[in-house]
Amino acid sequence: MVPAPAGRAEELVYRPVLAARRGELEALSHLDDAHTPMLSPILELSTIDRPVIDSLARLPPGLLPAVDIGALPDTTAAALARWGVPLMPVIGLTDGERRLAAHGDTARAHAHRAVVRLRLRQDRAGPDATTTAVERIGRHARLGPEQCDLVVDCGDVCCPADVRLAEPRVRRVLCWARRHAWRSVSVVAGGIPPALSRLPVDEPVRVNRWDWLLWQRLTDLGVAFGDYGVAPAAIPAQPTADRHLTVTYTGNGAWWVHRWSRRRGQGDQRVADLCRTLVSGPHWPATGASFSWGDQEISRRARRGAGAGSATNWMAWSTSHHLAHVLDALARPARAIPSR
pLDDT at 101: 96
pLDDT at 336: 43
Q: In this structure, how many other beta carbons lie within 10 angstroms of the beta carbon of residue 321?
A: 28
Q: Does pLDDT of 232 surpass 90?
A: yes
Mean pLDDT across the stretch 1-6? 36
Cβ-in-10-Å burial (0-12, 13-18, 19+) of 24 comes to buried
Q: What is the pLDDT of residues 46-70, one digit of tens each?
A: 877 778 888 888 999 989 999 999 8
| Residue 86 backbone phi and psi in degrees, to 5 | -60, 125
pLDDT at 242: 65
List Cα–Cα distances, 327 to 102, 224, 274, in angstroms.
33, 12, 25
Distance CA 192, CA 252 (A): 14
3-state secondary structure of 248: strand
Domain ranges of the chain: 11-236+243-331
Distance CA 46, CA 64 (A): 19
pLDDT at 11: 60
Contact indicator for 183, 147 with CB cutoff of 8 Å: yes
What is the band of 4 on the pLDDT scale with cuts at 50, 70, 90? very low
Interior angle at CA 174, CA 338 and CA 126, nearest 5? 160
Helix ranges, the chain (H):
22-29, 50-57, 74-79, 97-109, 127-141, 160-177, 210-216, 267-279, 293-302, 311-331
What is the band of 239 on the pLDDT scale with cuts at 50, 70, 90? low
Q: Does pLDDT of 237 surpass 90?
A: no
Lowest-confidence segment of 89-103, 284-298, 303-317 by average pLDDT: 303-317
Distance CA 173, CA 252 (A): 28
Q: 3.40.50.1370, 3.40.50.20, 3.30.870.10, 3.20.20.70: which CATH number matches 11-236+243-331?
A: 3.20.20.70
Q: Does pLDDT of 105 surpass 90?
A: yes
pLDDT at 79: 84
Distance CA 311, CA 321 (A): 16
Q: In this structure, how many other beta carbons lie within 10 angstroms of the beta carbon of residue 8?
A: 11
258 has which bridge partners?
204, 247
162 has which bridge partners?
none
7 vs 43, residue with greater confidence: 43
Q: Residue 92 — left, alpha, or beta (φ > 0 → left; ψ -120 to 50 → alpha)?
A: beta
Mean pLDDT across the stretch 225-230? 97
Distance CA 305, CA 299 (A): 9
> Considering just the CA atoms, what is the radius of gyration of the chain in Å?
20
Distance CA 41, CA 225 (A): 11
12 vs 145, residue with greater confidence: 145
